[in-house]
Amino acid sequence: MIRLFFLLFVSAAFSQQISRFDKALIWRDSLLLFSSDSIYSSPISPSRSFSFSSLPLKPNKDLPVLKSIITPLDSQIYFLDGMGGGVYEFQKDSLIRIDKSYKHRMQIDATVFVKNDTVFKYGGYGFWSVRNFITFFDPNTKEWEILPAQNSDIIPGGTIASKYAISSDEIIFLGGEKLNVFDQVDFSPANEIWKFNFKDKIWTFLGNSTLNFSNFKAYVQMGEEILFLDDTDLTLINPFTNKVTKFNNTTLHKKFIVTKNLMPLYNNNQFVSFVSSSITGAIGIEVRGRDEFFGPLLETSKLYNDFNYFWLLLVLPFGFAIAIGVKKYKRYQSRANSMTLEKGGLIYKRIYYSLTVEENGILLCLLGSDGVETSSIMEIIENPNHNYSHNMRTKNKIIGELNYKLKTILKINKDLILAAKSDKDKRIIIYSIDKTFFSY
């Protein structure tokens, strides 16, 4: 298992030639480098020198290590499939899959983070829509589960590739890209900032930022802070205190190597950076304490406007107007919290979810009746080239997948489509659907 990770490293130490394509991370106060066929490890010592040991890594045709999302937990390291729910562990010299999920392609470019030794995902793109909820991998069920936000009155619209800052009870998402709900392939920079409280299960909208996070070339996740880098400045953001601090670059930053896999890392008040030698062009490693990493202070500002004008309405003596507004809001919420069946898909909270022809037909059939016999479902999905048993298996599969999709959209645990024996003839199966979740 992964906790035996370092016991398997060969005893010989050597100077590792770092490639721009290597993936780097810090785990248990050691720097790990992942190449396509090896894993290298070196403790981050007080002398700030690095002496690497290595482990061989067999290629995995389903998930090449350099295409995985490498996620260090306290107890182990996960390798995640960015196209779906796949979760792998390093065992002996191979990546071994441990999950029971499938490549659903519904959380591409999701934001991955770790809390309490559990890996989470927020957002992500798939099926021409963006997710606006948080999921987590349950090591007991070996499946991804939804983290409910049942106490929230509002929820975010969803983003891809957001950055985050995290504390003991809360996480704040910022940056990334949002989807144009009227054009499901049109993305633009997201400037909304949202906070989620893990204890209370509540989303809070903090405000809009004037920063364009897409202008930065790299970032460093620092717990409750995030450091953004560009060619001239360092921008340190603490969204919990609503503070942006800008610093000048130093000569160190001019030597940075910044790729998708090789970004500066932060651990125990130290920055570990990858730099290019001006003489040989080889990639080296520089370690700097927090106090010596930043250049001169340039300015401080707010990340977002934290004055909420809506609170002003609570103290204004316009009870009648507020009552009308509340009534309209409840009507809007009632409609917003229901799914609407459209041609080719569903609309929920102004997000479009595509359906197959068979799924669309089954929903139309179920919503138009209080109970539907198996024969009516078979008329929708039956393939005349298949025998009865094959068509029945197809029917069960489609209904199962449709139930899973509806649960994922609504973030609930119960199936909406149910099957029961007929009161008149126990040989006949009647299908029904919970219509309270639909507006039609």
pLDDT tens sequence across 165-222: 999 999 999 999 998 877 777 888 999 999 999 999 999 999 999 898 888 989 999 9
* 192 neighbors 180 (Cβ within 8 angstroms): no
Q: How far apart are CA 137 and CA 134, in angstroms?
A: 11
Q: Which CATH number fits domain 338-437: 1.10.10.10, 1.10.287.70, 3.40.47.10, 1.20.1260.10?
A: 1.10.10.10
Domain boundaries, the chain: 2-301, 338-437
Structure tokens at 123: 């957002």
Cβ proximity of 187 and 178 under 8 Å: yes
Burial 235-259 (b: 16+ CB within 10 A, else e): bbbbbbebebbbbebeebbeebbbe
Average pLDDT in the 286-295 region?
Answer: 91
What's the CA gap between 31 and 29, in Å, rounded? 7
The Cα 205–Cα 190 span in angstroms is 13
Sign of CA dihedral 142, 145, 147, 150: negative
pLDDT band at 278 (very low <50, low <70, confident <90, very high): confident
Q: Which amino acid is at 310?
A: F
Report the CATH number of the 2-301 domain.
2.120.10.80
Beta-carbon contacts of residue 404 (< 8 Å; ≥ 6 apart) = none
Cβ pair 39, 54 in contact under 8 A:
yes
Q: What is the mean pLDDT of residues 111-118?
A: 96
Read off the pLDDT band of 273 (50, 70, 90).
Answer: very high
Mean local confidence (pLDDT), 120-137: 93
Name the amino acid, one letter, at 335.
R
Give the contacts of 235 (CB within 8 A, at least 6 positions apart): 211, 216, 227, 228, 229, 244, 245, 246
Q: Which two tokens stand for residue 187?
A: 């993305």
Tell me the pLDDT of the chain averaged across its residues. Answer: 86
Sign of the torsion formed by the C-alpha atoms of 221, 224, 225 and 226: positive
Would 2-301 and 338-437 be classified into the same CATH topology? no
pLDDT, residue 113, reads 97
At residue 1, the pLDDT reads 41
353 pLDDT exceeds 60? yes
Residue 436's pLDDT band, with cuts at 50, 70 and 90, is confident
- State which amino acid sits at residue 355: L
pTM above 0.85, yes or no: no
- For 346-400, the DSSP string reads EEETTEEEE--HHHHHHHHHHHTSS-EEHHHHHHHH--TTS-HHHHHHHHHHHHH
Q: How far apart are CA 419 and CA 397, in angstroms?
A: 14
Q: What percent of the chain has pLDDT over 70?
A: 88
pLDDT single digits (tens) 64-103: 999 999 999 998 999 999 988 999 998 888 999 999 988 8
How many residues in total does the chain contain?
Answer: 440
pLDDT (mean) for 324-343: 67
Distance CA 289, CA 83 (A): 37
